[in-house]
Amino acid sequence: MVKSTKPVPDSMTPAPFRVTARRQDLADTFTIELEAADSPRGFAFRPGQFNMLYHFGVGEVPISISGDAGAGKLIHTIRDVGAVTHGLSTLKKGDMVGVRGPFGSAWPVDAAEGSDVVIVAGGIGLAPLRPAIQHVLDNRDRYGRFVILYGARSPKDVLYLPELQSWRGRLDTYVDVTVDHAESGWAGNVGVVTKLIERANFDATHAVAMLCGPEIMMRFTVAELTARGMDRGDIHVSMERNMKCAVGHCGHCQFGPKFVCKDGPVFPYGEIEALLKARGV
């Protein structure tokens, strides 16, 4: 092993970042923009990776990176569901956050070049896919047809609505949105997100799909995509498990023989199909 006579910072030590902007997206979901406190030197990451965000004295949570605001600014969209995420929800411009990362595997945006790209997102699952969407849009000529399908619980739970509308406004991108439950004021679709797949136009034999959402939603989406002729290896899913260290040391995120933190969170579906079917893994 490499001698550690001059120790590097331990893999568990967070770096201080400053909140440069905050936006409330939904009743329980907000977005913060971060910048390194010491040296705004940029933050390199690949779409699909995550950071561990530390709220002073409260604790740390894994949060997917949901965008790069340019000039090295990091964007995280967070749902307020626990003590730490609630703490993070109270942060204002100028407040500090600890960041460790980026960690984990990425969406196959390079391997997907030359293919149709199908994004299927559910709920807050759109957040980890946003960097992949941005990447495809920024390099639009490298990809075939681009399909973004998004399902949410109800109209008031639709994340990034203005952005969805602007993506939909492009002639080179197909965007379809549905909600599970709606009252009659909602002009959009009502029904499960899997129903959107039927109507979307893409070549299933030359497409790469990227899925993020609740596990049930991803399982049913895979069934729909494979029924349409997609190969399991071309379907990529982002998994969620308990994480404490993000570096493969704490054991919490084990998913069968996989560590979600370092082997995932993005997996080719074929690799984890059996694990997704088993209970309590």
Residues binding other proteins: number (CB under 8 A): 76
Q: Is 185 one of the binding residues for other proteins (CB under 8 A)?
A: yes
* Amino acid (1-letter code) at residue 18: R
CB of 37 within 8 A of CB of 93?
A: no
Q: Is 217 one of the binding residues for other proteins (CB under 8 A)?
A: yes
When the beta carbons of 233 and 251 are compared against other proteins, the nearer one is 251
Q: Which of 205, 253, 255, 236 is nearest to 107 (CA)?
A: 236
Q: Smallest distance, Å, CB 185 to other proteins?
A: 6
When the beta carbons of 29 and 31 are compared against other proteins, the nearer one is 29
Q: Is 25 one of the binding residues for other proteins (CB under 8 A)?
A: no
Q: Is 278 one of the binding residues for other proteins (CB under 8 A)?
A: yes
Residues 77-116 that bind other proteins (CB under 8 A): 81-82, 95-96, 98
Q: What's the CA gap between 146 and 113, in Å, rounded?
A: 11
Q: What's the CA gap between 40 and 18, in Å, rounded?
A: 10
Residues 163-182 that bind other proteins (CB under 8 A): 178, 180-182
Q: What's the CA gap between 71 and 54, in Å, rounded?
A: 22
Count of beta carbons in the 10 Å neighbourhood of residue 82: 12
Pair of tokens at residue 231: 């190969």
Residues 40-59 that bind other proteins (CB under 8 A): 54, 56-59
Q: What's the CA gap between 88 and 60, in Å, rounded?
A: 10
Residues 6+ apart with CB under 8 A from 236: 107, 108, 208, 209, 210, 211, 266, 267, 268, 269
Q: Which of 90, 97, 107, 56 is nearest to 74 (CA)?
A: 97
Q: Is 18 one of the binding residues for other proteins (CB under 8 A)?
A: yes
Residues 117-156 that bind other proteins (CB under 8 A): 122-123, 151-153
Residues 229-268 that bind other proteins (CB under 8 A): 240-242, 244-245, 247-252, 254, 256-257, 259, 262
Q: Which of 21, 137, 190, 204 binds other proteins (CB under 8 A)?
A: 190
Q: Which of 16, 72, 144, 270 binds other proteins (CB under 8 A)?
A: 16
Q: Is 162 one of the binding residues for other proteins (CB under 8 A)?
A: no
The SS3 of residue 199 is helix
Q: Which of 29, 127, 191, 236 binds other proteins (CB under 8 A)?
A: 191
Residues 6+ apart with CB under 8 A from 5: none
| 264 torsion bin: left (phi>0), alpha (psi -120 to 50), beta (else) | beta
Q: Smallest distance, Å, CB 281 to other proteins?
A: 7
Reported residue count of the chain is 281
Q: Smallest distance, Å, CB 114 to other proteins?
A: 29
Q: Which of 168, 170, 199, 206 binds other proteins (CB under 8 A)?
A: 199
Q: Is 213 one of the binding residues for other proteins (CB under 8 A)?
A: yes
Q: Which of 27, 41, 184, 201 binds other proteins (CB under 8 A)?
A: 184
When the beta carbons of 142 and 241 are compared against other proteins, the nearer one is 241
